Amino acid sequence: MRIRSELIISILIISIIPLSFVVYTSYNYSQETIRASIMDNLVGATENTGQAIDNWMDVRKSDIRVISQFGMVEYIEKEELHDYLNNLENEHEGVYKEFFLLDLDGNIIFSTKNHTGNVDSQQYFIEASNGRLYVSDVYIPEVTGSPEIIIANPIKKNNTITGIMAARVGLEQLYGIIEKIEIGTLGEVFIVNNKGDIIFHENRSMILHENIKNNFAVKEVTYEKNGIAEYVNYQEETVLGSYYWLPLYRWGLIVEMNRGEAYIEVLALGRLTVAISLFAILGVILFTIVISRRITEPIESLKDGAISLVEGNFKPIPVSSKNEIGRLTEIFNQTAKELLEIRKKLEMKIDMANKDLELKNKELVIANEELKKLDMLKSDFISLVSHELRTPLSAIRTSSEFLESEENADPGVQKEMLENIIRNVDRQARLINDILDLTKIEAGRMEFRFEQVDFKHMAPLAIENIRPIAQKNHITITEDIPDKLSTISADKEKLIIVLNNLLSNALKFTPDGGTIHLSAKEYQDYIEIKVKDTGIGIEKEQLEKLFDKFYQVDSPSRRKIGGSGLGLSISSEIIKAHGSKIHVESEPGQGSTFCFRLKK
């Protein structure tokens, strides 16, 4: 066996055996003390609660005695008695459910609830008519469904019983007092009568519906015993239970705590003892290792260093002494350190090269994606411009050739040809202007002049721009703009462009006989503007691309008016510059609604 192992085993044997004996003895003594304290506290809580029950019941009995002996019961009018007892019921809200008087034949001659009948067979009447104050067993009346008792006391005149005073007493207030006892989250408090029936429980549905006479504590308490014990209760749980007999009412108060919760302090002591023991053992082991290491480490370090050097593992070896072996270890560490630095420099250079390579690769990927996008935009642009320029140019050429060849053409036809030339020149101009406007917006060179704009007076200008074409195609244009609409902060010219684009767009896709509706609605901080049409609508998957450059919902052959596919893109950018956004709602065949908001 190595010297270091022998040292460790010897020190552990000498230290741990005495330490374990001391810890075990201390734990047993503390455990018994805590258990005794817990039992005393539980017994005290049970007895205090029992006394609280006695006190509460004493007050109720005292009230009945006072009322029975009060001369007004016999001499005052029934109406005055009714008022007095009603006031008493209200004063003790929820306690007294009813007061009633009985004659010696058991007939109810007075009741605060106007009840009548005969109760000569009831135990409380029999006992009270024999001259004793009597508290009935707990029962649950069908009317209220809440547990009650009846307290009855004889009314005497010149030591002769002349009647019986009785009261129905609700127990919810008493139950509230009982429920204040601390029993933990898994504990249980209940009261049983001398038959083992539960007459109090947190779960009210168990009252007078559960009999637990086989419970150990119930057996003990119904034998009129008080005490505390550990046992398995009626729910097959191990508990610490305290029981207390209330002889005046034939009740047994039982307080049960889950054994684990009751002895949680004992368990905590056990855990603390184990923790301290482990900590002490670890301390001893650590101390043993440190001492053994101090003795054997210099030689072990030199041996491990030599092996690591041969294997190419350049881990520095700790220097634990200042002697010759320590000096030799320092020289070895210095050599290993220099080799590690060389290796780190090489690794850093490789890492830097890899990072540069990754960065360049990412830049190439991004550039490639941009090129693809630009290529697609270029193709779209060329296709669009070639179509949009070729179509009007063809129309201009055809009209011009006709005018050139037909010297004596009808003036009406010549005028129509000239209008066609002008219309197609305007179409080309709009395309070029759209492209220039979008270029300015994207380059941030488009200037905006914000001012106070009256939308009520501006909207007709935009409507008049499309009214001739709308009338030609039998499309109705309506507007709903309040007369007293607040002014908005906007660039009037740019806003005209947006309205022209939205109205023209609605006109393109609305069939003959359709409707275009322009509306404005005022809210607290902004004006909401809507352009609604009864056109062909837009597919859901096309809505996201609607404001992309050169994107068109349908083919040019289906449209009444040519377009560049830039109008909505330009409108979207203008509204963004106003701090808002254009929203679209549309369904195929149901038309479309374009909406945006501008600040007041």
User: Which has more confidence, 58 or 283?
Assistant: 58
Percentage of the residues of the chain whose pLDDT score is greater than 70: 79
How many whole angstroms separate alpha carbon 355 and alpha carbon 361? Answer: 10
Work out the angle at residue 224's Cα, subtended by the Cα atoms of residues 221 and 228, and round it to the nearest 5 degrees.
Answer: 45
How many whole angstroms separate alpha carbon 543 and alpha carbon 552? Answer: 11
Q: Which of 130, 128, 149, 131 is nearest to 140 (CA)?
A: 149
pLDDT confidence band for 516 (50 / 70 / 90): very high
Which of 503-507, 514-518, 585-589 shows the highest mean pLDDT?
514-518
Residue 500 has a pLDDT of 86
Given a contact cutoff of 8 angstroms between Cβ atoms, the answer to whether 47 and 244 are in contact is yes
Q: What homologous superfamily does CATH list for 447-599? A: Histidine kinase-like ATPase, C-terminal domain (3.30.565.10)
How many whole angstroms separate alpha carbon 37 and alpha carbon 43? Answer: 10
Residue 556 has a pLDDT of 44
Could you say which of 3.30.1740.10, 3.30.450.20, 3.90.1530.10, 3.90.1150.10 is the CATH number of the domain covering 70-173?
3.30.450.20
Q: What is the mean pLDDT of residues 560-573?
A: 69
Q: What is the mean pLDDT of residues 304-321?
A: 65
Structure tokens at 179: 């429920």
Q: With helix as H, strand as E and coil as C, how does 257-321 read? A: EEHHHHCHHHHHHHHHHHHHHHHHHHHHHHHHHHHHHHHHHHHHHHHHHHHHHHHCCCCCCCCCC
Residue 202 has a pLDDT of 86
Given a contact cutoff of 8 angstroms between Cβ atoms, the answer to whether 112 and 85 are in contact is yes
Mean model confidence pLDDT for the chain: 81
Task: Locate the domains of the chain by residue range.
Answer: 70-173, 342-439, 447-599
Q: Which of 69, 81, 61 is nearest to 159 (CA)?
A: 69
Given a contact cutoff of 8 angstroms between Cβ atoms, the answer to whether 138 and 147 are in contact is yes
Q: What is the mean pLDDT of residues 133-144?
A: 88
Given a contact cutoff of 8 angstroms between Cβ atoms, the answer to whether 106 and 125 are in contact is yes
Given a contact cutoff of 8 angstroms between Cβ atoms, the answer to whether 518 and 595 are in contact is no
Q: Which of 388, 393, 395 is nearest to 420 (CA)?
A: 395
Given a contact cutoff of 8 angstroms between Cβ atoms, the answer to whether 575 and 502 are in contact is no
Residue 452 has a pLDDT of 92
User: Which has more confidence, 552 or 569?
Assistant: 569
Summarised one tens digit per residue, pLDDT across range 169-199 is: 999 888 888 888 887 787 889 899 988 899 9
Summarised one tens digit per residue, pLDDT across range 66-100 is: 888 765 566 567 787 888 888 888 888 889 999 99
pLDDT at 329 over 80: no
- Measured CA distances, 78 to 72, 164, 518, 599 (Å): 10, 15, 81, 77
Going by DSSP bridges, is the β-strand pair 188-193/198-201 parallel, antiparallel, or unpaired?
Answer: antiparallel
Residues with Cβ within 8 Å of residue 132, at least 6 apart in sequence: 154
pLDDT at 577 over 90: no
Find out if CATH 1.10.287.130 is the number for domain 342-439: yes
**Domains 70-173 and 342-439 in one fold:** no
For residue 590, give the DSSP letter: S
- Measured CA distances, 295 to 7, 281, 320 (Å): 10, 21, 10
User: Which has more confidence, 236 or 410?
Assistant: 236
Summarised one tens digit per residue, pLDDT across range 277-296 is: 787 778 777 777 776 666 66
pLDDT at 394 over 50: yes
How many whole angstroms separate alpha carbon 225 and alpha carbon 232? Answer: 18
Residue 106 has a pLDDT of 92
Percentage of the residues of the chain whose pLDDT score is greater than 90: 20
Going by DSSP bridges, is the β-strand pair 526-533/592-599 parallel, antiparallel, or unpaired?
Answer: antiparallel
Burial of 303 per CB tally in 10 Å (0-12, 13-18, 19+): exposed
